[in-house]
Amino acid sequence: MKDLFSLKKEVAVVTGALGKLGPIWIDTLLAAGARVFALDHPESQKSKAFNQLQTHYDDRRLKFATADVRERQAIEAASQQCQEAFGVPSVLVNNAGIDQPPDLPGKGCCLEDIPFELNREVFEVNALGLFLVTQVFGSQMVKAGRGSVINIGSLYASVAPDSRFYDHIKCDPPFLKPPAYGASKAAVVNLTRYLATLWASCGVRVNALSPGGVSGDQDPEFRQKFCERVPLGRMADDSDLRGPLLFLASAASSYVTGIELVVDGGFTAW
């Protein structure tokens, strides 16, 4: 059973490496034996969690490079770096994405006033950027005849945000979670199914992993409201996400492709 989940000799690429979830995915892959090529935007700052990983793993196991997922030339350059360092990847975690968190004061808006450019940026990064990265790295997997692509979705790919979670936030107009976020994640899930059927005969599996609310520095009132809505009664911890990712990345899911694995504590069951 241990060998079934092993990623020894595997090469994994993780985008959005410096964000909230990036270090969780990277640590999981490294712990399972993979070498990881981490990517993030050139202007992103390295987080404490990522710095700790670099302290623990040298560049024989973990390498970092910058690239904007919306720029093909930058992605192709990163792909070349990855091949020179580790070889052709066998795991791709499309984690890069942008969102507007509910803990930023004074960020309310009316639907009719949401800037078009904000919607464009969300779709460009979350959906079109994901597709571009998959074109570059996924095509290498197709040529190699093996691989697992894991697209990070969201529970909001399936359901709409509950505005009551945010009605305690003091701002005028009230906080409104941008509709483009959920719509872009729904696009990711559909794209997952498209690529899964297209590449199945090439030995490349494509699945989506959609987390629910992940515990962080959310305000206490939001946390209480959210947890009351979750059948398991809590938000996800980092450890709740590791197993699902490892399952999809490893041979344990060798007959699984085209699915959305929702890890939300039962949120979307109600």
- The label of the residue with tokens 């199945």 reads 200
Structure confidence by residue, pLDDT tens digits, 195-238: 999 999 999 999 999 999 999 989 999 999 999 999 999 999 99
Structure confidence by residue, pLDDT tens digits, 112-141: 888 888 889 999 999 999 999 999 999 999
For 69, list phi and psi in degrees, rounded to 5.
Answer: -65, -10
| Spatial distance between the Cα atoms of 69 and 54, rounded to a whole number of angstroms | 22
What pLDDT is recorded for position 103? 47
* Whether the predicted pLDDT of 69 surpasses 60: yes
In a domain, 229, yes or no: no
What pLDDT is recorded for position 172? 83
Q: What is the mean pLDDT of the chain?
A: 94
Q: What CATH number has the domain bearing residue 39?
A: 3.40.50.720
Number of structural domains in the chain: 1
Tell me if the bond preceding 101 is cis, omega within 30° of 0.
no
Task: Find out whether 34 and 56 touch, Cβ atoms under 8 Å.
Answer: no
In a domain, 207, yes or no: yes
In a domain, 230, yes or no: no
In a domain, 12, yes or no: yes
β strands within the chain, DSSP E: 11-14, 35-40, 62-66, 91-94, 147-152, 204-211, 260-263
Structure confidence by residue, pLDDT tens digits, 18-51: 999 999 999 999 999 999 999 999 999 999 999 9
Structure confidence by residue, pLDDT tens digits, 42-55: 999 999 999 999 99
In a domain, 171, yes or no: no
In a domain, 153, yes or no: yes
What pLDDT is recorded for position 110? 83
In a domain, 228, yes or no: no
Supply the pTM of this predicted model.
0.95
Tokens of 266: 């039962």
* Whether the predicted pLDDT of 249 surpasses 50: yes
Domain, as residue range, for 47: 3-102+123-159+180-217+238-263
| Spatial distance between the Cα atoms of 29 and 8, rounded to a whole number of angstroms | 9
199: buried, middle or exposed (CB in 10 Å: 19+, 13-18, 0-12)? Answer: buried
What pLDDT is recorded for position 173? 85
Task: Find out whether 107 and 173 touch, Cβ atoms under 8 Å.
Answer: no
Structure confidence by residue, pLDDT tens digits, 155-198: 999 999 999 998 898 888 888 888 999 999 999 999 999 999 99
